[in-house]
Chain A
Amino acid sequence: MNPRAAVVVGHGILCDRELEEALRRAGADAERVHLNDLLDGERAGRYHILALPGGFAFGDDTFAGNIFAKKVLFNPLREAFRRHLDEGRLVFGVCNGNQVGTMMNLIPAFGEPLGPPEVAYTCNSSARFEDRGNIHLKVVSQRSHWLKGLDVLHNIPVAHGEGRFYTSPRVLRRLRSEGLVALRYATEKGVPARGRYPQNPNDSLEDIAALASEQVLLMMPHPERAIEPVNQDGWTRRRSLLRRRGKGLPPEGDGMAIFRNGVEHVRKNLL
């Protein structure tokens, strides 16, 4: 039996097929499921991984992630999420899915889990949507099952207009001390960007690109857009260098390690 993953779709979710592909390549039986088919909370129990893809749910209206999160929270699906987490199962949210997960307070949940959010991904300081492929991420906490053994992820794309991480100093201190800060925007060498643009593409506080607990990874950049090396910026340059050394490109893109970690964790511990 393979780990089972639901990729939640509908209402303007857009990045679902690539997330499904990434989870499948990592060994999961992934399927796209419409939010409306999950609302009663029953079907959600079938899955080891609930994956929230990127997109523009409800057009980002009011603010990104809000209405999709509320549709979950004001339905029995909310309790299904609680059971899912209580049973040690995993959640992954990317970009708009990160914003949805954040609005559901899947992390940090210092206060009420599935209650009001404690951090925000708000309007980029450029006030622009930006699409960039050459974003590097430093893994600063390996607390999460999703990030075990990882150090620097290169050339992971971002594409968002509301990705600036923000929270209060109090919450920030606690995030750091509990190891919930998972990824920071970094230079090519893996050193945190320290706010420099465009390495930190949105002016996120302390270069924070993702928060993660053991079970939940919520990240702004798109590892599912880096499944193969040829999806990653600069690959023709790397190919030229490697060719001279008689080598070829690696078999997988930098993004796959995250999905392999998550699926392997389920395989070893939850099957």
Chain B
Amino acid sequence: MALRPGLFDAQGHIDERRIRDRFGLRARVEYRKIFTEDLDLPPEELSRFAGELAHPVTHTATLGAAPARPFDHVIEVGYRPGVMDPEGRSAKLLAGYVLGRTFPFERRVAVQHQRLIRGALSPAELRKVAGLFSNDTVQTFRIWSFAKWKRGIAPYMPTVRVPPPGPVRRYDLDLPDGELLALSAERMLALDIAEMGRIREHFSRPKTVEARRRVGLDGRATDVELEHLGQAWSEHCKHKIFNADITYVEGGREEHIAEGIFRRYIRAATLDIQRRKPGFIKSVLWDNSGVVDLDPGADHYLCFKCETHNSPSFIEPYGGAITGIVGVYRDPMGTGRGSRLTFGVWGYCTGSPFYKGALRPPLHPDQLLDGIHRGVRDGGNKHGVPTAIGGTFFDDSYLGKCLVYVGAAGLIPKTVAGRPGYEKWVRPGDRIIVAGGRVGKDGIHGATASSQEYSEGTPAGHVQIGDPYTQKNVQEFLLEALGEGLIDFAQDSGAGGIGSAAGEMSEYSGGARIELDRDLFKYEGLAPWEILESESQERMFFAVDPANVRRFAEIAEKWDVEWRDIGEFTDSGHFHLLYKGATVGYLDIDFLHKGVPQKRLRAVWRTPEERGLREPSLDALARRGPGRLLHDLLRRENVASREFLQREYDTRVQGRTVVPAFIGEGSDVPSDAFVQKLEFGRTGAVACGIGLNPTFGKIDTYAMAMLSANEGLMRVVAVGADPDRAANNGNYCWPGVLADESDEPEYKTAQLVRAARAQSDFATGTDVATISGKDSMKIQGNILDSRGRRHRVFGLPAIQFATIGHVPDAAGCVTADLKLAGDIVYVVGPPTRDELGGSELHEMLGEPGLNVPRVDLPASMETYRALHSAMRAGLVESAKACSKGGLAAALSLAAFGGGLGASIDLRRVPSDIPAGDRHRDLRLLFSESASRFVVSVAPGNAAAFEKVMGGRAARFGTVVPRSVVVTGSGGKVILREEAARLKRSWRSTFAHKLHAGGGAP
């Protein structure tokens, strides 16, 4: 399928740009698409099918090799065998509609992408260029010269050839420790000796032996059982580090955290808040997402969950990221008995897109970011869920592994079939039904692989291509079945597949009996353990009363959702697995879920001073002058406009969006938070904002966690959310803390303890509960440099706090852009302090410094409540939360966001920085002291606003037409910059990634 001559080839054009930007090579690219089929069609039908593939106005479809003007080379990219090919699947459906029949599942259409290259590229250059369009883990490419291509090329039809599986293997576990560990390694179980020892001990118990004999198993463990234990006890599923017994040492004092940091710091604070706010927090920390009653008058609860999808995205960014976002959607969908997705969030941390250093990660950060971005874009847009808001953080510590945060919120009907929508249950006798995608070998060992450090040997088998099309059908089918009260329990199937999903569900009834061969397969040849552990996507599990199965099936068929009944829930106390009638696994439920031994860790904190940190001199920066410094700051990659990402995400689908990702006079400045009505026709809305700033962790992870959580809350308050009706989701991404995987295990463990403690202090001090969350350990990689030497790269510890809050009246929302000249500008919140530690200004010096901002939680909450009251009274025209770049950056964004300027006087900013400090003005402009806002108020409302704020707002300027003008501590103007020029600087960094306009030359 090729474009008609004379039409503008947008795809080819953008490919040329990528080749030029990435490698500095010049080549013309002509794009076309190949459909390869094995439908066994007679010629007449084949040509009819081909004719329906192309748009007759713009494209031509040719059977066989399409004619082409001479070119130099052609690069053809196609999927490897067994990888999901959504477009091929759709094209096969088209053939069915057009020809009026259906084809068996095994018959396929596959899609390849051809780029005709005109330009003198060497073979090595061609391979590099092909690598831009093809990811080796899921795709393969072929290159021909024009002459070879003219002689004819063989079609490419990826075909899975899997030998029939061998018999179930059985392992005698009565082995010495060394051989047990070797077994763990051989089967990639990623279990340590304590865990393997516990399994050995369990299998040797007479009670176990006797129970197994009754179902026809001997004393040996089957491969099904070992694989299942490896998965169920993986770090990914069991969070063994968050549950470890930790001895924390600080300043010579030891503290014993026997119950682990999850229980002590996260769970305790959340459950405490739930006790105090039972009307708000409905269901937390057990289901697939946390549930709040955000708007008491609405018909729905809101549920919310964020995830990470780091390891797969690092290897295959597009597939990893699309699988990540489509995967996290199943968390709200699998909360209670089901929910309707309402918005999603994103966050990416990679090395600098401009990285020019010696390390050679598998993909350059720029290409990595591009793939992640396209994956999240397609997953969100094609699922009909607004990809509402997000952020990036670039740091070369993520060259070893990137972070991909994805999150989703859903709406749960308050009452379903007479019971609260967040309740779910499994009754013995309920059928186990799986619906959605089919099972293949993809995704095997995903749960264990994500718990490992990256190296070239990391198996790519756990990388998949998510399919939003299939899952959207599952979502709609789920809603209809939910509405009819047919579902007892909805469950996501993600990492760990059937074993994990049905395994967790079986805890509720006390057992399950599963016939593995009754699932739906992509192809033959899967061993029973592979069926159990496969992480094939777009699958959900349901517990359904046998009386409801028929109706359930009718709805599934209406929505083209494939489903299978694979067994029943029991109260046998065992997870019973069968394959073709024979028992292949029989595991005690209690042992499976509670048997994993607790790890013991030691944490030793070293203070920033002990680590040699100090406050850097600002003299060199001061010489640039405040104006130039501000331009330089706005151009920095962690401050500059990242419109090239968010612009491609649909933020308004579903029609309830009130504050989209971009605001202001040009609709191109980011909002602090996203706001969406919960339901048409109601005034209540949800705000969602992101806090993520790993830089502070270079000094102290306590500050990093505290400031990130606080930033999330500030952002939702800035748009109009009630600080007393807010909650968050915390996602930890941490470098390895275990002795065998870390350069400084005890210190990194101490960093983790401090972060969790900060999260607890924040929750207790604000009553903002963490309703859901996740941890992803081993953010690190073992990568080569340009001379072939190995380097271990550990990622900066990071926590993304995605905060949600209740906006009582959507029509009262406030945006950050200044509105009208003459309005009064205030700095709101606690004083600005000498707190440049971890600031973007210090980053410009390459030194974090020491004076990291402290958060005064009582003063912050008083500020948030007062500001919220002022907004409720309609007294606020604009509000911008201060974060990276401090007051100077916040004021600049508010100004050019409104197409206006502001004249401010630093002498009126409340501060305890001594008058004699010669860098006082720089500190006032760029300190990232917490909990401050830049707010503008109409002159007529100033007195009322000040009264409501009760001394927490300082009038420090006015809105003016053009420029940002700053009067310094000495009473002189120290900065006068046109807002439009500041905006240009801020947009310049990634301008090359935006479309410049125009089309056909």
Interface residues of B in 981-1001 (CB under 8 A from A): 995-1000
The answer to whether residues A131 and B647 also contact, given A122-B58, A197-B995 and a CB cut-off of 8 A, is yes
**Are the CB atoms of A59 and B382 closer together than 8 Å?**
yes
Residue A113 at the B interface, CB < 8 A?
no
Complex interface: chain B residues within 8 A of A196 (CB): 997
CA distance A227 to B11 in the complex (A): 34
List residues of chain A with CB within 8 A of the CB of B650.
129, 131, 159
B7 within 8 A of partner (CB): yes
Collect the chain A residues with CB atoms within 8 Å of residue B817's CB.
236-237
- A21 interface residue per 8 A CB criterion: yes
The closest CB in chain B to the CB of A9 belongs to B476
Chain A min CB distance to B298 (Å):
15
Q: In this complex, what residue of A is CB-closest to B35?
A: A62
Chain A residue nearest to B819 (CB atoms) is: A240
Interface string of A59-87 (1 = CB under 8 A from B): 11111001100110011000000000000
Question: Do the beta carbons of B58 and A166 come within 8 Å of each other?
Answer: yes
Q: Residue A34 contacts which of B98, B558, B652 (CB distance < 8 angstroms)?
A: B558
Q: Find out whether the CB atom of A61 lies under 8 angstroms from the CB atom of B655.
A: no
Q: Which of the residues A131, A195, A227, A230 comes within 8 Å of B651, measured between beta carbons? A: A131
Which of B87, B91, B94, B1000: most chain A Cβ within 10 A?
Answer: B94
Beta-carbon contacts under 8 Å, B807-855 to A: 810-811, 813-815, 817, 819-820
Supposing A127-B11, A237-B665, A244-B938 touch, asked if A61 and B998 sit within 8 A by C-beta, the answer is no
Query: Which of A103, A197, A244 is close to B820, meaning CB atoms less than 8 Å apart?
Result: A244
Q: Is the CB of B655 within 8 A of A224?
A: yes
Contact A159 B56, CB 8 Å, known A9-B476, A56-B382, A129-B377: no
User: Given the complex, which residues of B lie within 8 Å of A241, measured CB to CB?
Assistant: 819-820
Interface readout for B1-39 with A: 1 if CB under 8 Å, 0 if not? Answer: 100000110110110000000000000000000000000
Asked whether any CB of chain A lies closer than 8 Å to the CB of B560, the reply is yes
Is A17 part of the contact surface with B, judged by Cβ < 8 Å?
yes
With a CB–CB cut-off of 8 A, which chain A residues contact B663?
Answer: 233, 236
Contacts A123-B11, A128-B648, A129-B648; is A59 near B86 (CB within 8 Å)? yes
Taken residue by residue from 211 to 233, chain A's Cβ proximity to chain B (1 for < 8 Å, 0 otherwise) reads as 00000000000101101001101
Q: Given that A56-B381, A74-B98 are known contacts, is A61 also in contact with B87, CB under 8 Å in the complex? A: yes
**Interface residues of A, CB < 8 Å — how many?**
73
The verdict on A203 contacting B55 (CB below 8 Å), with A10-B559, A56-B381, A125-B8 known, is no
Given contacts A14-B472, A62-B90, A134-B667, contact A236 B57 (CB under 8 A): no
Q: Which residues of A contact B100 (CB under 8 A)?
A: 74
Given known pairs A15-B655, A70-B98, A197-B995, the reply for A127 and B58 (CB within 8 Å) is no
Give Cα A196–Cα B995 distance, bound, in whole angstroms.
12
Is A167 in the interface zone, CB < 8 Å from B? yes
B658 within 8 A of A: yes
B808 nearest CB across to chain A (Å): 14
Partner of A166, one of B7, B54, B814, B898: B7
B144, CB-defined interface residue at 8 Å: no
Chain A residues numbered 36-55 whose CB sits less than 8 Å from any CB in chain B: 36-37, 54-55
- Asked if B97 is at the interface of the complex by the 8 Å CB criterion, the answer is yes
Contact in complex: B90, A58 (CB < 8 Å) = yes
Per-residue B-contact encoding for A93-111, CB less than 8 Å = 1, 0 else: 0000000000100000000
| Separation of A62 and B52 alpha carbons in the complex (Å) | 9
Which residues from B are CB-within-8-Å of A126? 10, 14, 995
Closest chain B CB from A202 CB (angstroms): 9
Residues of A near B573 (CB, < 8 A) are none
A12 at the interface (CB under 8 A from B): yes
Task: Give the CA-CA distance A225 to B815 in the complex, in Å.
Answer: 19
Chain B residue nearest to A70 in the complex (CB): B97
Is B653 touching A63 in the complex (CB atoms < 8 A)? no
B336 at the interface (CB under 8 A from A): no
Q: Are A63 and B90 in contact (CB under 8 A)?
A: no
Q: How far is the CB of B467 from chain A (nearest CB, A)?
A: 8
Q: How far is the CA of A198 from the CA of B874 in the complex (A)?
A: 33
Q: Is B566 an interface residue (CB 8 A)?
A: no
Q: Are A128 and B995 neighbours in the complex by a CB distance under 8 Å?
A: yes
Cβ–Cβ contact A14 & B383, under 8 A: yes
List residues 587-624 of chain B with CB under 8 A from any CB of chain A: none
Decide yes or no: A222 and B57 within 8 Å by CB, A70-B97, A236-B814 being known contacts: no
- In the assembled complex, B157 has its CB within 8 A of some CB on chain A: no
**Residue A175 is within 8 A (CB to CB) of chain B in the complex:** no
Write the chain A residue with the least CB distance to B61: A62
Q: Which of B384, B667, B874, B996 contacts A55 (CB 8 A)?
A: B384
Q: For the complex, give the distance between the alpha carbons of A128 and B650 in Å.
A: 12
Select from chain B the residue with minimum beta-carbon distance to A63: B55
Bound CA–CA A230/B878 (angstroms): 16
Question: Are A236 and B997 closer than 8 Å at their CB atoms?
Answer: no
Residues in chain B near residue A132, CB distance under 8 A: 647, 667
Residues of B within 8 A of A230 (CB): 658, 810-811, 813
- Would you give the 0/1 interface string for B43-55, flagging 1 where the beta carbon is closer than 8 Å to chain A? 0000000001111
Interface string of B89-115 (1 = CB under 8 A from A): 111011001101000000000000000
Chain B's nearest CB lies how many Å from the CB of A146? Answer: 18
Q: Is B670 close to A, CB under 8 A? A: no
- Bound form: Cα–Cα A146–B815 in Å: 34
* Contact between B10 and A125, CB atoms less than 8 A apart: yes
- Interface residues in B643-670 by Cβ distance below 8 A to A read 647-660, 662-663, 665-667
- B94 & A62 in contact (Cβ 8 Å cutoff): yes
Chain A residues whose C-beta falls within 8 Å of the C-beta of B7 in the assembled complex? 122, 166
Question: Are B90 and A127 touching (Cβ within 8 A)?
Answer: no
Task: Say whether, besides A18-B654, A125-B999, A196-B997, A67 and B94 are in contact (CB < 8 Å).
Answer: yes
**Would B1000 and A59 count as touching, CB distance under 8 A?**
no
CB neighbours (8 Å) of A249 from chain B are 811
Complex: how many Å from CA A9 to CA B479? 14
Instruction: Answer yes or no: A149 CB below 8 A from chain B CBs.
Output: no
Q: Which residue of chain B lies nearest to A116 when distances are taken between CB atoms in the complex? A: B56
B59 and A11 contact, CB distance less than 8 A: no
Within 8 A of B (CB), among A129-152: 129-134
Q: Mark A234-261, 1 if CB is under 8 A from B, else 0.
A: 1011001101100001000000000000
Cα of A21 to Cα of B680 in the assembled complex, Å: 8
Is B877 an interface residue, CB under 8 A from the partner? yes
Q: Which residues of A contact B795 (CB under 8 A)?
A: none
A18 touches B655 (CB 8 A): yes
Given the interface contacts A36-B558, A130-B647, A231-B652, does A59 sit within 8 Å of B57 by beta carbon? no
**A54, chain B: closest CB distance, angstroms:** 8
Could you say which of A36, A74, A131 has the most chain B C-beta atoms within 10 Å of its C-beta?
A131
CB-CB nearest in chain B for A166? B58
Residues of B within 8 A of A59 (CB): 86-87, 90, 382, 468-469
A-B contact list, 24 entries, CB within 8 Å: A10-B476, A11-B560, A15-B384, A18-B653, A22-B655, A56-B469, A59-B87, A61-B86, A62-B53, A62-B90, A117-B57, A126-B10, A126-B995, A128-B14, A128-B995, A130-B647, A134-B666, A164-B999, A203-B998, A230-B658, A236-B813, A240-B938, A243-B938, A244-B938
- Sample of 14 more A-B contacts, CB < 8 Å, known A62-B91, A227-B680: A10-B473, A12-B472, A34-B559, A61-B90, A62-B1, A63-B55, A70-B94, A119-B57, A166-B58, A196-B997, A203-B8, A231-B652, A237-B817, A237-B819
B: residues with CB less than 8 A from A are: 1, 7-8, 10-11, 13-14, 52-59, 86-87, 89-91, 93-94, 97-98, 100, 377, 381-384, 468-469, 472-473, 476, 558-560, 647-660, 662-663, 665-667, 680, 810-811, 813-815, 817, 819-820, 874, 877-878, 898, 938, 995-1000
Chain A residues in contact with chain B, CB under 8 A? 9-12, 14-15, 17-18, 21-22, 34, 36-37, 54-56, 58-63, 66-67, 70-71, 74-75, 103, 116-120, 122-134, 157, 159, 164, 166-168, 195-198, 203, 222, 224-225, 227, 230-231, 233-234, 236-237, 240-241, 243-244, 249
Name the 9 nearest CB pairs between A and B, nearest first: A18-B655, A14-B384, A125-B999, A197-B997, A61-B90, A126-B995, A203-B999, A240-B819, A127-B10
